[in-house]
Structure 1
Amino acid sequence: MLPLPVSLAVRKQFSGGRTRRTKDILLTRSRVTNLGVLLLASFAVLSLLLNFGYYITSLDEPQVEIPVVKSLLYTPPTNVLDTIQRDETLPALTHLIVVAGHAIWKGNDASEILDEEQWILEAYQRGGGRVNAFVQHIMTGTQLAAEDPRSLLVFSGGQTRPSSTTTEAESYMRIATLSDALPLSQPVTGLDMIVRATTEDFALDSFQNLLYAIARFHEYTGRYPEDITVVGYEMKRRRFTELHRAALRWPESRFHYLGVDVEGDEAVRAKDGEIMNGYLPYTLDLYGCHGILLSKRRARNPFHRFHSYYTSSPELAGLMNWCPGPSEARGQTRVYDGPLPWDGLANTESASGTS
Structure 2
Amino acid sequence: MLPFPVAFSSRTDSRTRHYRSTRDVLLTRARITNLGFLLLAGFAALSFLLNLWHYFTDLTTYEPQDGRGPYSAPRGIWETLQRDKSLEEIDHLVMVPGHAIWKGMSVEERLDEDQWVLEPYQRGGGRISAFFAHIVGGAELAREDEHSLLVFSGGQTRPSSTTTEAESYMRLASVSDILPSSYSSSALRATTENYALDSYQNLLFSIARFHEYTGRWPSKISIVGYEFKRRRFTELHRAALRWPADRFDYIGIDADGDTELARQGELQNGYLLYTQDTYGCHDTLLSKRRARNPSMRFHPYYSSAPALGPLLNWCPGRAEGGQTAVYPGPLPWDHGTAFGRDS
Give the TM bin, normalised by the shorter chain: 0.7 to 0.9
Is 1:322 aligned to 2:277, yes or no? no
TM-score w.r.t. the length of structure 2 is 0.77
Q: Deviations over 1:89-134 (max 9, x none)?
A: 1121000000000000011111101100000000100000000000
Amino acid at match of 1:243: L
Question: Which aligned pairs between 1:226-237 and structure 2 lie closer than 5 A?
Answer: 226-237=219-230
Q: Which 10-residue stretch deviates more, 86-95 or 295-304? A: 86-95
5+ long unaligned stretches in structure 2: 1-19, 28-73
Paired residue for 1:345? Answer: 336
CA shift in 2, pair 1:106/1:39, >3 Å: same
Q: Counterpart of 2:11?
A: none
Structure 1: distance between partners of 2:287 and 2:89 = 39
Render the CA deviation track for 1:61-97: whole Å, top value 9, x for unaligned: xxxxxxxxxxxxxxxx834112111111112100000
- Please, which of 122, 130, 140 is the counterpart of residue 133 of structure 1? 130
Instruction: Supply the AA of the counterpart residue of 1:185.
Output: S
User: What is the rounded CA distance, in whole Å, between the counterparts of 2:182 and 2:75 in structure 1?
Assistant: 31
Supply the distance in 2 between the matched residues of 1:308 and 1:38 (Cα, whole angstroms).
57
Return the match for 1:300 from 285, 292, 297: 292
Separation in 2, partners of 1:36, 1:342: 67
Looking at structure 2, the residues matched to 102 and 291 of structure 1 have their Cα atoms a distance apart, in angstroms, of: 22
Asked if 1 retains the 8 angstrom alpha-carbon contact of 2:146 and 2:183, the reply is no
Superposition deviation, residue 323 in structure 1: 0.4
Q: Structure 2 CA distance, aligned partners of 1:171 and 1:226? A: 27
Residue 320 of structure 1 deviates from its aligned partner by 0.4
Corresponding residue for residue 278 of structure 1: 270
- Superposed counterparts of 1:30-109, under 5 Å: 37-38=23-24, 78-109=75-106
2:249 is aligned with 1:256? yes
Q: How many residues in Structure 1 have an aligned counterpart in Structure 2?
A: 275
User: Larger radius of gyration, structure 1 or 2?
Assistant: 1
Task: Give the TM-score normalised by structure 1.
Answer: 0.74
Q: 2:113 aligns with which of 106, 112, 116?
A: 116
SS of equivalent residue, structure 2 residue 318: coil
What is the one-letter code of the residue matched to 1:332? Q
Task: Select the residue among 323, 326, 329 that pairs with 1:335.
Answer: 326
Choose from 203, 214, 222 the match for 1:210. 203
Match for 1:140: what amino acid?
G
User: 162, 168, 172: which is aligned to 1:165?
Assistant: 162
Deviation at 1:228, TM superposition (A): 0.1
CA contact (8 A) 1:98 1:228 kept: yes
Letter in 2 for 1:334: A
Equivalent residue number for residue 287 of structure 1: 279
1:149 to 146, 151, 155: 146
The answer to whether the 8 A contact 1:251-1:346 is kept is: no
1:88 and 1:187 in contact (8 A); partners too:
no
Q: Percent identity?
A: 63
Corresponding residue for residue 178 of structure 1: 175
Unmatched runs of 5 consecutive residues or more in structure 1? 1-33, 42-76, 349-355
**SS, match of residue 204 in structure 1:** coil
SS of aligned partner of 1:305 = coil
Partners of 1:347 and 1:201 in 2: CA distance: 26
| Cα displacement (A) at 1:38 | 4.2
* Cα distance in structure 2, aligned partners of 1:35 and 1:326: 69
* Cα drift, residue 37 of structure 1: 3.0
Give, in angstroms, the shift of residue 196 of structure 1: 0.2
Rounded to whole Å, the distance in 1 between the matches of 2:285 and 2:108 is 36
How much does 1:262 deviate? 1.2
RMSD of aligned residue pairs (Cα, Å): 2.1
Cα distance 1:38–1:162, how it changes in 2: closer, same or farther (>3 A)?
Answer: same
